[in-house]
Amino acid sequence: MMVKEFDRRWIFLSIGLVVLIFLRVPLKLKYKLSPQTLGFYKAVESLPAGSVFFLSVDYGPGSEAELRPMHEALVYQLMKRNVKIISIAVFDTGPPLADMVFKKVTADLAREGIHKEYGKDYVNLGYKTGMDVAMAKIGASIVETYPTDNFGTPVEKLPMMKDVKNIKQVAMLCSLSAGSPGVREWLQQVQSRYKVRMVTGVTAVMTPDLYSFMQTGQIEGFLGGLVGAAEYENLLGRPGSGMAGMGVQSIAHMLIVGFIFIGNVLYIMSIIKAKRAKAKV
Amino acid sequence: MDVLGAWITVFLTLAIFSFLYRDNPIYKFAEHLFVGVSAGYGFIQAITGTLIPNLILPLKQSFNGVSNCSWARLGALILAILLLLRLVEKVAWLSRLPLALIIGMFAALRLLGRAQSDLILQVNGTMLPITGRNLSWLAWSGVSVLNNALLMVGVLSVLIYFFFSVEHKTPLKQIALVGTFFLMVTFGSSFGFTVLGRISLLIGRVQTLYRFSGREYGYASVICGLCFIIWFVMWEILRKKL
Amino acid sequence: MFITIIIGILVILKFFLNVPEVKGVADEVEQWCLILMAVAGILGVLNILRVNLHIVRRRGNDWRYKIVLIVSMLMMILVGIINIVQRGDVSIGSEFYYLFINIVMPLGATMYALLAFYIASAAFRAFRARNVRASLLLISGTLVMIGRVPLGAAISSIFPRIAEWLMTVPNAAGQRGLIIGAAMGVIVTGLRILVGIERPYLKGD
Which among B28, B72, B147 has the least Cβ separation from residue C28? B72
The 8-class DSSP code of residue A222 comes to: E
C172 interfacial to chain A (CB closer than 8 Å): yes
Task: Give the model confidence (pLDDT) of B215-230 as tens digits.
Answer: 999 999 999 999 999 9
At A268, which helix (H) or strand (E)?
helix A246-280
CA B241: distance to chain centroid?
44
Which among A93, A215, A225 has the least Cβ separation from residue B197? A225
CB contact under 8 A, B8 and C174: no
- Test mutation, C12, C25, C27, C36, chain B, max B CBs within 10 A: C36
Task: Give the A window 39-58 contacts with C, CB below 8 Å.
Answer: none
Is the pLDDT reported for residue A270 higher than 90?
A: no
Instruction: Output the average pLDDT for chain C.
Output: 91
Task: Count Cβ–Cβ pairs < 8 Å, chain A vs chain C.
Answer: 168
CB contact under 8 A, C103 and B37: yes
Half-sphere exposure of B80 (CA within 13 A, CB side): 24
A242 close to A233: Cβ distance less than 8 angstroms: yes
Structure confidence at residue A100 as a pLDDT band (50, 70, 90):
very high
Chain C neighbours, 3+ Cβ pairs < 8 A: A, B
Closest chain C CA to residue B19: C114
- Rg of the Cα trace of chain B? 29
Structure confidence at residue A54 as a pLDDT band (50, 70, 90):
very high
A33 interfacial to chain C (CB closer than 8 Å): no
Bridge partners of A58, per DSSP, are A177
Tell me how long chain A is: 281
Task: Give the model confidence (pLDDT) of A208-247 as tens digits.
Answer: 999 999 999 999 999 999 999 999 999 999 988 888 888 8
At C18 the pLDDT is: 81
Percent of chain A with pLDDT over 70: 98
Which among B41, B106, B203 has the least Cβ separation from residue A23? B203
Percent of chain A with pLDDT over 90: 77
Closest chain B CA to residue C97: B41
Q: Which residues of C touch B150 (CB under 8 A)?
A: 169-170, 173
In chain B, which stretches have pLDDT less than 70?
66-70, 242
Closest CA to B73 of B92, B60, B91, B90: B60
At C205 the pLDDT is: 47
Is the pLDDT reported for residue C152 higher than 50?
A: yes
Is the pLDDT reported for residue A1 higher than 60?
A: no
Structure confidence at residue A49 as a pLDDT band (50, 70, 90):
very high
B182 close to C177: Cβ distance less than 8 angstroms: yes
At C19 the pLDDT is: 85
CB contact under 8 A, B188 and C110: no
Check: pTM over 0.90? Answer yes or no: yes
At B61 the pLDDT is: 84
CB contact under 8 A, C140 and B192: yes
At C204 the pLDDT is: 52
Q: Cα separation of B7 and A40, whole Å?
A: 38
Tell me how long chain C is: 205
Q: Which residues of B touch A129 (CB under 8 A)?
A: 46, 49-50
Helices (H), A146-245: 183-186, 192-194, 207-215, 225-236, 241-244
Which among A15, A62, A208 has the least Cβ separation from residue B189? A208
Task: Give the A window 221-280 contacts with C, CB below 8 Å.
Answer: 227, 230, 246-247, 249-257, 259-260, 262-264, 267
Closest CA to C176 of A225, B185, B165, A33: B185
Angle at A207 between CA A203 and CA A209, to 5 degrees: 130
When pLDDT is averaged across residues C79-86 and rounded to a whole number, the result is: 95
When pLDDT is averaged across residues A155-159 and rounded to a whole number, the result is: 93
Task: Give the model confidence (pLDDT) of A160-176 as tens digits.
Answer: 999 898 899 999 999 99
Closest chain C CA to residue A103: C92
At A231 the pLDDT is: 94
Chain B neighbours, 3+ Cβ pairs < 8 A: A, C
Mapped onto helix, strand or coil, the DSSP state of residue B114 is helix
Instruction: Output the average pLDDT for chain A.
Output: 92
Is the pLDDT reported for residue C132 higher than 70?
A: yes
B106 interfacial to chain A (CB closer than 8 Å): yes
Is the pLDDT reported for residue A28 higher than 50?
A: yes
CB contact under 8 A, A208 and B202: no
B118 interfacial to chain A (CB closer than 8 Å): yes
> How distant, in Å, are the alpha carbons of A251, B206, C145 from that of A20?
11, 7, 20
Q: Which residues of A touch C123 (CB under 8 A)?
A: 256, 259-260, 263
Which among B51, B105, B115 has the least Cβ separation from residue C38? B51
The fold of A28-243 is Rossmann fold (3.40.50)
How many Å lie between the alpha carbon of C89 and the closest alpha carbon of chain B? 7
Phi/psi at A238 (5° precision): -130, 80
Is the pLDDT reported for residue A2 higher than 60?
A: no
How many Å lie between the alpha carbon of C63 and the closest alpha carbon of chain A? 27
Is the pLDDT reported for residue A87 higher than 50?
A: yes
Is the pLDDT reported for residue A3 higher than 60?
A: no
At C166, which helix (H) or strand (E)?
helix C158-166
At B70 the pLDDT is: 67
C143 interfacial to chain B (CB closer than 8 Å): yes
At A52, which helix (H) or strand (E)?
strand A52-58
Is the pLDDT reported for residue A89 higher than 90?
A: yes
Kindly list the domain boundaries of chain A, sorted by start residue. Answer: 28-243, 245-281
CB contact under 8 A, C77 and B157: no
